[in-house]
Amino acid sequence: MFTAHESSSENTGFDIKVSAFKILEQTSPDHVKINPFTSVSPYTSMYQDICALALEKKASLIVIPFHKELLGGHGQIGLHRGVQQVNSNVIAHAPCSVGILVDRGPF
């Protein structure tokens, strides 16, 4: 798994997601290998870092965050244009499959 996030304030959510994927790796060690990666780079070139690392690691799947999120529990949706552009570029240039992770929050 290769993912990028923009600030340390998102670390808690990021860490929870990585932990979930690590549990998957532990339960299926012969089939799943997780390589979480954090990159700090401008949105305009971030996709290049993601795709280059996926190619180097011979990844079969890149997981990227969905560019929309629910705001404050009021049903409002926030759009993150920087993430949307990174996602579009990753999808267009990825050397492997791309999955978009939609975080709907706690159950």
Q: How confident is the model at residue 70 (pLDDT cuts 50, 70, 90)?
A: low
Please determine, for residue 61, whether its predicted confidence score (pLDDT) is greater than 80. Answer: yes
Q: Mean of the per-residue pLDDT values for the chain?
A: 79
- Please tell me the pTM assigned to this model: 0.70
Query: What's the count of helices (H) and strands (E) in the chain, helices before strands?
Result: 3, 4
Q: What's the pLDDT score for residue 38?
A: 75
Q: Which residue has the tokens 């070139």?
A: 45
CB contact at 8 A, 78 and 71 = yes
Q: Which pLDDT tens digit goes with each residue over 9-52? A: 445 566 777 888 888 889 988 888 888 777 788 989 999 999 99
Q: How far is CA 68 from CA 8, 23, 62, 79, in A?
A: 19, 26, 18, 5
Q: What's the pLDDT score for residue 83?
A: 86
